[in-house]
């Protein structure tokens, strides 16, 4: 009777979220909004910032040069701005970011009106990338006292996949902090790397030792209870049921987040559709903030709804298929024998 009631309750919960799933399907089927190419005023502003950045670079004010060239490149992705931005990043010690910028500059589309200048900028960016690569240091991480798959890693507070750390992660020259977590345990190490160096960092987890039982002279030896604990017989059922409820709860959270963000996204879409700067699913550059916000909300809603729905279904299956718990259990203690159960 209880299983039938539980199934009915879960089916009712899934029906309530039907509207949210429908809104997710609508959001996924709609094409993403696109911001139009930079207009002439944006290009003018980017060129002014770029010129100021180059002047600061030539005056050895690399912090100012980096700031202005980064802003200019954000406004206009041109190979020449990418080249000078990468050069400024090198000067302030951000070699990894500089290499990425040089590489990106080589793959940008070259404007027809500035073909010769921009093509030369791409050629220079490729040459400077080739010269920079062997100078970038790297960190290799080794773990002691724990399995690599059981750990999560960060470098300077940023999550990093273990595969990158084992093979060698490119880092900027200078001091870095590497951390690994395994449950509640944490291992930490600091490393200072120089140009072209490949440094290995060892993270050690201290394995917990078993408790020591003192031996009292003249006392009778204590024999450990070799019978299984009273809960052993119901452990598989309890674990499956517990994980099932955890999945149901997580699925509910995902569906809630997806539904709320879906409603907000639909409101954003309505505002964009009524905006005179947006026509035929395209918006002017001035509306790029609203476009990015809508697309982000749409993605979060879709992921939340579908992942939440899947988790909720999985959890319901685990709960409903968990074996029944036994009503009585036998136990053997040091001074007693008996039955334990619910009556």
For the chain, domain boundaries: 2-30+234-323, 40-134, 138-204
Q: Which residues pair with residue 328 across a beta bridge?
A: 341
Instruction: Output the pLDDT for position 240.
Output: 80
Give per-residue pLDDT as tens, 134-156. Answer: 999 999 998 998 888 889 999 99
Q: What is the mean pLDDT of the chain?
A: 77
Tokens 């020591």 belong to which residue?
212
Q: Where are the alpha helices (DSSP H) in the chain?
A: 2-16, 18-29, 40-58, 62-75, 79-91, 95-106, 115-132, 162-167, 235-273, 288-321
Tokens 């879906």 belong to which residue?
262
Q: How far apart are CA 331 and CA 341, in angstroms?
A: 10
Most confident of 161-175, 207-221, 264-278, 290-304: 161-175
Residue 130 in tokens: 């080739």
Give per-residue pLDDT as tens, 80-104. Answer: 999 999 999 999 999 999 999 999 9
Instruction: Output the pLDDT for position 313.
Output: 82
Task: Write the CATH number of the domain with boundaries 40-134.
Answer: 1.25.40.10
| DSSP code per residue over 234-288 | GHHHHHHHHHHHHHHHHHHHHHHHHHHHHHHHHHHHHHHHT-TTEETTEE-GGGH
Residue 336 in tokens: 């007693």
Contact predicate 312/252, CB 8 Å: yes
CA trace torsion 214, 217, 218, 220 (10° rounding): 20
The answer to whether residue 329 scores a pLDDT higher than 60 is: no
Angle subtended at Cα 335 by Cα 331 and Cα 339, rounded to the nearest 5 degrees: 25
The superfamily (CATH) of domain 138-204 is Carboxypeptidase-like, regulatory domain (2.60.40.1120)
Instruction: Provide the angle, in degrees to the nearest 10, between the axes of the packed helices 40-58 and 79-91.
Output: 30
Tokens 């001035």 belong to which residue?
286
Instruction: Output the pLDDT for position 12.
Output: 52
DSSP conformation class of 39:
-
Give per-residue pLDDT as tens, 202-255. Answer: 999 875 444 444 555 555 554 444 445 555 445 566 788 788 788 778 878 878
The answer to whether residue 30 scores a pLDDT higher than 80 is: no
Instruction: Output the pLDDT for position 236.
Output: 62
Alpha carbons within 13 angstroms on the beta-carbon side of residue 136 total 21
Q: How far apart are CA 101 and CA 134, in angstroms?
A: 16
What Rg do the C-alpha atoms of the chain give, in angstroms?
30
Instruction: Output the pLDDT for position 23.
Output: 41
The answer to whether residue 69 scores a pLDDT higher than 80 is: yes
């Amino acid at each position: 009777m209880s299983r039938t009631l539980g199934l009915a309750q879960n089916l009712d919960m899934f029906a309530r979220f039907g509207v949210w799933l429908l809104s997710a399907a609508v959001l996924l089927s709609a094409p993403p909004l696109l911001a139009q190419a930079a207009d002439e005023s944006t290009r003018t502003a980017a060129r002014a910032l770029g010129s100021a950045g180059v002047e600061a670079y030539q005056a050895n004010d690399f912090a100012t040069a980096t700031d202005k060239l980064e802003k200019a490149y954000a406004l206009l992705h041109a190979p020449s701005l990418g080249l000078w931005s990468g050069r400024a990043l090198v000067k302030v010690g951000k070699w990894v970011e500089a290499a990425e910028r040089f590489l990106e500059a080589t793959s940008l589309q070259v404007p027809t009106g500035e073909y010769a200048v921009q093509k030369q900028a791409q050629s220079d960016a490729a040459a400077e990338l080739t010269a920079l690569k062997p100078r970038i240091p790297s960190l290799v991480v080794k773990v002691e006292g724990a399995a690599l798959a059981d750990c999560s890693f960060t470098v300077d507070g940023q999550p990093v996949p273990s595969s990158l750390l084992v093979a060698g992660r490119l880092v900027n020259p200078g001091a870095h902090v590497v951390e690994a977590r395994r449950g509640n345990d944490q291992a930490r190490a600091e490393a200072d790397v120089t140009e072209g160096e490949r440094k290995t960092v060892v993270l050690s987890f201290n394995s917990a030792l078993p408790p020591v039982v003192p031996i009292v002279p003249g006392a009778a030896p204590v024999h450990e209870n070799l019978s299984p604990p009273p809960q052993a017989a119901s452990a598989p059922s309890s674990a499956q049921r517990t994980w099932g409820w955890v999945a149901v709860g997580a699925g509910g959270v995902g569906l809630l987040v997806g539904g709320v963000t879906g409603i907000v996204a639909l409101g954003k879409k309505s505002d964009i559709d009524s905006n005179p700067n947006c026509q035929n699913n395209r918006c002017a550059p001035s509306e790029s903030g609203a476009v990015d916000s809508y697309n982000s909300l749409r993605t979060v809603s879709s992921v939340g709804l579908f992942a939440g729905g899947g988790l909720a279904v999985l959890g319901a299956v685990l709960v409903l298929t968990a074996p029944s718990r036994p009503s009585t259990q036998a136990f053997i203690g040091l001074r007693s024998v008996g039955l334990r159960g619910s009556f």
